[in-house]
């Protein structure tokens, strides 16, 4: 908010600057959507955020919750803001045992939330439901602190801690990666994530997928030569880094190397060490970079 205080400021900013400010927060598609959405609002609404649901739906990155929140909190309209907290509260309050990942269940909860809103200052109830889910009716419900427990059907049934029900559980994939920090004097070799990939617009060091934990630096040296024709010299093993993103849990095993010449490598660039922190890095590789800056 300090760097991009208005929609116009965000719209005219370079995407790299936006990604850099977002660095470390994860879900980088949100930063890209914010940037693209700001440009859309400037081009189509003179930089003024529209106050109708139909118009807001045309802005990239705005889903039902965000649109509901904008209409409720920014424009004080009679519109429910249904986030994960509200879904949890209403699933318990109404003892909804159906799978809440199903569209029919979500549609029902949205309707219930809308019905609960009073005509007078409805945004206060929307905020109250969000806060109730965040502070009291969270994953482990504090039912005896809840002001709604006397009318809560799940509390009466004794199954509040078992709701809401989610039928599909995310399968976590474990990744093991050998990361090569290659330096040539004051320059470091990095790569920008390709468009459409998970790490799009973020920077990372060269890495190789491993079948399991740990890696022999000699093997990594050989891989660097085979892949990039880089005759590297191993310097040191850096501290292992654990990195989580979407449904992945990655373990990174970084090693530092040096080369005598900055030969060009397709898809990579040599960046001065004093300038490399200006780039936005994925969180795991950012922690590796922090180690590198201390060398």
pLDDT at 245: 84
Alpha carbons 265 and 173: distance in angstroms, whole number: 30
Length of the chain: 295
DSSP 276: G
Highest mean pLDDT pick, 124-138, 168-182, 191-205, 272-286: 124-138
In the chain the domains, ranked by start, together with CATH numbers, are 1-62 (1.10.340.30), 78-169 (1.10.1670.10), 173-292 (3.90.79.10)
pLDDT at 143: 96
Q: What percent of the chain has pLDDT over 90?
A: 81
pLDDT at 165: 93
Mean pLDDT value across the chain: 92
Q: Which of 51-65, 124-138, 166-180 has the lowest mean pLDDT?
A: 166-180
Residue range 227-244, pLDDT digits in tens: 999 999 999 999 999 988
Predicted confidence (pLDDT) at residue 198 exceeds the cutoff of 80: no
Which pLDDT band, with edges at 50, 70 and 90, does 195 fall under?
confident
Alpha carbons 81 and 129: distance in angstroms, whole number: 9
Alpha carbons 91 and 84: distance in angstroms, whole number: 10
DSSP 261: S
SS3 for 204-252, per residue?
ECCEEEECCCCCCHHHHHHHHHHHHCCCCEEEEECCCEEEEECCEEEEE
pLDDT at 40: 97
pLDDT at 50: 96
Predicted confidence (pLDDT) at residue 213 exceeds the cutoff of 90: no
Which pLDDT band, with edges at 50, 70 and 90, does 197 fall under?
confident
Tokens 């060398």 map to which residue? 295
Tokens 């318990």 map to which residue? 92
β-strand pairing of 187-192 with 203-204: antiparallel
Long-range contacts of 218-227 (CB under 8 A, 24+ apart): 219/178, 220/178, 220/180, 220/255, 221/257, 223/178, 224/180, 224/182, 224/257
Beta bridge partners of 182: 257
Structure tokens at 111: 């309707």
Asked if 26 and 66 count as a contact pair (C-beta separation under 8 A), the reply is no
Q: What share of the chain is helix, strand, coil (3-state, %, to 5)?
A: 40, 20, 40
Predicted confidence (pLDDT) at residue 168 exceeds the cutoff of 90: no
Predicted confidence (pLDDT) at residue 208 exceeds the cutoff of 90: yes
Q: Which of 127-141, 185-199, 278-292 has the lowest mean pLDDT?
A: 185-199
Instruction: Report pTM.
Output: 0.76
Predicted confidence (pLDDT) at residue 293 exceeds the cutoff of 90: no
DSSP 268: E
pLDDT at 243: 87
Highest mean pLDDT pick, 78-92, 169-183, 199-213: 78-92
pLDDT at 25: 85
The string over 237-256, giving b where at least 16 C-beta atoms fall within 10 Å of a residue's C-beta and e elsewhere, is ebeebebebeeeebbbbbbb
Structure tokens at 156: 């009466």
pLDDT at 58: 95
Which pLDDT band, with edges at 50, 70 and 90, does 200 fall under?
confident
Predicted confidence (pLDDT) at residue 257 exceeds the cutoff of 90: yes
pLDDT at 79: 96
Which pLDDT band, with edges at 50, 70 and 90, does 24 fall under?
confident
Q: How many CA atoms lie within 13 A of 229 on its CB side?
A: 6
């Amino acid at each position: 908010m300090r760097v991009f205080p208005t929609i116009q400021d965000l719209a005219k900013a370079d995407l790299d600057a936006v990604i850099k400010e977002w660095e470390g927060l994860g879900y980088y598609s949100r930063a890209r959507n914010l940037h693209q959405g700001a440009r859309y609002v400037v081009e189509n609404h003179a930089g003024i955020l529209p106050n109708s649901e139909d118009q807001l739906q045309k802005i990239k990155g705005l889903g039902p919750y965000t649109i509901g929140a904008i209409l409720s909190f920014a424009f004080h309209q009679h519109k429910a803001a249904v986030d994960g907290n509200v879904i949890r509260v209403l699933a318990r309050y109404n003892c909804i045992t159906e799978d809440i990942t199903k569209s029919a269940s979500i549609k029902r909860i949205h309707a219930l939330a809308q019905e609960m809103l009073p005509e007078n200052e409805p945004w206060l109830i929307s905020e109250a439901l969000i806060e109730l889910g965040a502070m009291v009716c969270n994953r482990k419900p504090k039912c005896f602190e809840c002001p709604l427990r006397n009318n809560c059907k799940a509390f009466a049934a004794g199954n509040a801690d078992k709701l809401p029900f989610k039928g599909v559980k995310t399968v976590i994939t474990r990744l093991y990666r050998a990361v090569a920090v290659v330096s040539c004097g004051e320059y470091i070799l990095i790569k920008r994530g390709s468009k459409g990939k998970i790490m799009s617009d973020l920077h990372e060091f060269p890495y190789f997928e491993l079948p399991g934990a740990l890696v022999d630096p000699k093997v990594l040296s050989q891989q660097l030569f085979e892949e990039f024709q880089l005759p590297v010299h191993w310097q040191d093993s850096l501290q292992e880094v654990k990195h989580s993103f979407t449904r992945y849990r990655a373990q990174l095993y970084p090693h530092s190397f040096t080369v005598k010449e900055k030969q060009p490598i397709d898809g990579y660039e040599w960046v001065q060490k004093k300038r490399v922190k200006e780039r936005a890095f994925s969180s795991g590789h950012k922690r590796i970079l922090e180690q590198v800056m201390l060398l």
